[in-house]
Structure 1
Amino acid sequence: MKTTRRRRLHDSIAMLAMAGCVQFASASIIEVPGDASTIQAAVDAAQTGDEIHVAAGIWRETINLRGKAIVLLGAAGPQSTTLDGRGLEGSVLRCIEGEAAETRIEGFTITGGSGDVGAHGPEATVGGGLLVRSSSPTIVNCVFRENRASLHGGAVYCGDGAAATFSDCMFESNVAEKGGAVFNIRSSPSFDSCVFTGNLAGYGGGAIYNDRKCAADFTDCRFQANEAIYNGGAVYDYESRGTLTSCSFVRNAAAFKGGAIYIAYRSNPIMHDCVFVTQADDVAGRRGVQMASKDQTGACCVGGGCIIASKSACEDAGGEFSGRGTRCSIEEQTCSRRMKGDLNHDGTVDRTDMAVLMLIWR
């Protein structure tokens, strides 16, 4: 029965494609490459409620979801199903036609994207892996790896009222001027159980840059080894508000301020029970931050070792308090010794310290 239905579906696609149009009469599972030769052809043919199942492999194309309430599924998961934008123009994926939560992207590795041209000139690209404008898609179990944008959002750009939802996603080794992994502006995206690691910003927000009227929410997310050449190694907030709940910050670094988070102009984020593991993972900026954590203790570096204590007890003992919610960790070198050449105090001598040195010489 299933084989007969699929054969009819395949024959219909072939016949209608010759006529220049492809349509389905009812909700279906469209298999790529079985029923359509490209993912975009499957999207163009799909109707509300359809699921597009993409086979394992490397798919070199850019895809516009066309505002459709459909599911785009990497059937073998992100380890085996890759959307590769190398050598192609634009973002790998686009949700720019009013997609809602029913538009679901799941189970892909998205890589090699270079981004769409923004409003700042032909050389200024945004959203290397995914561009979301005036849309609210759902993205689940995806890996955004080694995407870049010359301006904003190496992996993802959310703007113009976007309210995308990301769950169980990884953002790794993405690069942009602002928001090495994600750039949010006038939007309210949410991130649940996501990992941000090894992302780089040439200015601020190694992982995340929240800009102007942005209210992004992060829950159970991990920020590790992200870097910014200026401020905000993991997160940079500018005229934004948002919430971070039960998030951890590990070995993030900024050349100047806010190895973990930098709070700039008119920003007031709220943090619930977040953990800042190393001394470099600090929170800095022009405004205070509302720390909703009930834990008043943290890592205290004293006498060449590390203990858990309150800020006042730590300072009374002549120690250096790492911040509320921080913990002693041998692996993360919570109280590591200052190294020669470690200009940004993150415990390592690397390219970020070279950037600081170059800025000092200017």
Structure 2
Amino acid sequence: MNNLITFLVLCVLSGAVNANTWTVDDDGVADFDNIQTAVDAALDGDEILVMPGTYTSIGGEVINMNGKTVWLHSSNGQAVTIIDGEGVRRGIRCDSGESNMTIVEDFTITACMTGDGGGIYIRNSSPTIINCTITGNTAIGGGGGLFIRDGSPTITNCLITGNTANVDGGGLFIRDGSPTITNCMITDNTANADGGGLSIRTGAPAINQCTIKGNVANLNGGGIFCRDKGNATIMNSMIEDNFAGKIGGGLASDISIPAIGGTRFCGNVPNHIVGTWSNAGGNEFLDLCSAGCPEDIDGNGVVDVVDLLAIISAWGQCVGQKVHIVNQIGFTFFPREIMVTQGDTIRWVWGSGSHTVTSGTLPCGADGLFDGQLEENAPVFEWIVPSATPDFIEYFCNPHCVLDMNGSISVTGIGNNPSGGCPEDIDNSGAVDVTDLLGLISAWGPCG
């Protein structure tokens, strides 16, 4: 709603008082059946509303924004509105002076491949990208997910995961300009050279409240690689479980001096930071990553009423087996791989969209062991690991299996947690009681 209000106010101030709303639907009644035609027809200040579907093209990119000041967004969210490069073209191109009033919101951008910027290419432009999942894209050069050169684009509330660059910047490649990246998850991206999550070469990006996790660089900077005076500001973020083949599992810096504050480094291999950097204070360095705050029972990063209700419903003696939480984040199950014992409970927690948790052979072969729904009306699916079960189980989201939305479960023998085992037992006393309730209340709010 705030985005809409801001958009309309600025449109009025700029003189676009007769803005049109164009609709796009690939298989229904609408003004257009593809997004590019709608962008070509739109005037500055127009709104383009895209219905659920999978959209592609026959050109070099699915969408070229052509410098238009428009609000391009989906009607029903990113989970059901896909920009598909079909493995042969870029997703979105912005290199015609797009301003921050060129807004792209609520799409999944996937299966795109090109030279630089497989998912999104931004040059000499400053568009606003909001609530998008950028996954499974490839760059022959830099920036598997996004390539940014010059300009000041804004990237907010995006999941950038599972992208690959044959050179630098598996998730993002940044050169010059001052992009702002806020509240994004940059996970499980790969660079064959430097910067598994991000490669920053000159420029001054501002990275705030982001999670940079599980990225891989074959050379330097598993999470982030800063070079050639790429002086980033990294604040209030988490840089976790990244890997570099040479140096700087979390961050490697060459000549540049990134400023880092309020950020947690943990589990990075072979080391957290190598090279010059400026300590803005409040940083934490741990060999291993903790599971978060124990009071956050549902694992959503906030101790809130959902956790309180879980305490109440589990009141009393714990049963002695473990409960494993797997969160659905965009098109990712997190953590993707878990180890359990017979008798444990696995609890998948919904984040957005409509998904399934379906056991079977990857990529898309169901075997009937379990099959649950994850959506707004069914936000939790639980499965108790039976005594007679395979020692390795794969599962996937049935509607999104082609997007590599899957996970795996390794099973050992009968398990027992001597300290209680249920996550509601915060103090590990073996019972959910008033001590756990008081601990939850004292930790109320965001974790950390």
Give unmatched runs, 5+ long, in structure 2. 1-15, 289-324, 326-448
Question: CA deviation digits over 1:41-99, x for unaligned, max 9?
Answer: 1001101111101000111121111101101101111111000001443x210111000
Question: CA deviation digits over 1:187-237, x for unaligned, max 9?
Answer: 2111000001110000010010011x2111100000111000011001000
Contact 1:276–1:282 (Cα < 8 Å) also in 2: no
Which residue in the other structure is 1:270 paired with? Answer: 259
Pair 1:292-2:291 in alignment: no
Residues of 2 paired with 1:198 and 1:168: CA distance?
17
Contact 1:250–1:281 (Cα < 8 Å) also in 2: no
- Secondary structure of 2:38's match? helix
Which residue in the other structure is 1:79 paired with? Answer: 79
- Secondary structure of 2:79's match? coil
Residues of 1 paired with 2:118 and 2:274: CA distance?
28
**2:86 partner letter:** R
Residues of 2 paired with 1:216 and 1:97: CA distance?
21
Residues of 1 paired with 2:64 and 2:214: CA distance?
32
Give unmatched runs, 5+ long, in structure 1. 1-23, 116-124, 302-330, 332-362
Pair 1:150-2:140 in alignment: yes
**2:67 partner letter:** G
Question: CA deviation digits over 1:259-278, x for unaligned, max 9?
Answer: 010001x2000001100122
Residues of 1 paired with 2:63 and 2:123: CA distance?
15
Which residue in the other structure is 1:280 paired with? Answer: 269
Which residue in the other structure is 1:206 paired with? Answer: 196
| Aligned CA distance change for structure 1 residues 25 and 101 (closer, same or farther; 3 Å) | closer
Counterpart of 1:39 (choices 32, 35, 38) is: 35
Alignment size in residue pairs:
267
Contact 1:249–1:281 (Cα < 8 Å) also in 2: no
Which residue in the other structure is 2:162 paired with? Answer: 173
CA shift at 1:280, angstroms?
Answer: 2.6
Which residue in the other structure is 1:354 paired with? Answer: none
Residues of 2 paired with 1:155 and 1:187: CA distance?
18
**2:78 partner letter:** P
Residues of 1 paired with 2:176 and 2:17: CA distance?
38
**2:248 partner letter:** G
| Aligned CA distance change for structure 1 residues 298 and 67 (closer, same or farther; 3 Å) | closer
Counterpart of 1:238 (choices 202, 227, 232) is: 227
Residues of 2 paired with 1:300 and 1:253: CA distance?
13
Which residue in the other structure is 1:359 paired with? Answer: none
| Aligned CA distance change for structure 1 residues 279 and 68 (closer, same or farther; 3 Å) | closer
CA shift at 1:162, angstroms?
Answer: 2.1
Pair 1:223-2:217 in alignment: no
Which residue in the other structure is 1:60 paired with? Answer: 56
TM-score under structure 1 length normalisation: 0.70
- Correspondence list, 1:112-151, <5 A: 112-115=111-114, 125-151=115-141
Residues of 2 paired with 1:299 and 1:55: CA distance?
45
- Secondary structure of 2:281's match? coil
Residues of 2 paired with 1:164 and 1:95: CA distance?
10
Contact 1:26–1:47 (Cα < 8 Å) also in 2: no
Identity %: 31
TM-score under structure 2 length normalisation: 0.57
**2:215 partner letter:** N
| Aligned CA distance change for structure 1 residues 27 and 87 (closer, same or farther; 3 Å) | same
- Root-mean-square deviation (CA, aligned residues, Å) is 2.3
Which residue in the other structure is 2:107 paired with? Answer: 108
Which residue in the other structure is 2:176 paired with? Answer: 186
Contact 1:181–1:207 (Cα < 8 Å) also in 2: yes
**1:37 partner letter:** D
- Secondary structure of 1:79's match? helix
- Secondary structure of 2:104's match? strand
CA shift at 1:279, angstroms?
Answer: 5.1
Pair 1:27-2:26 in alignment: no
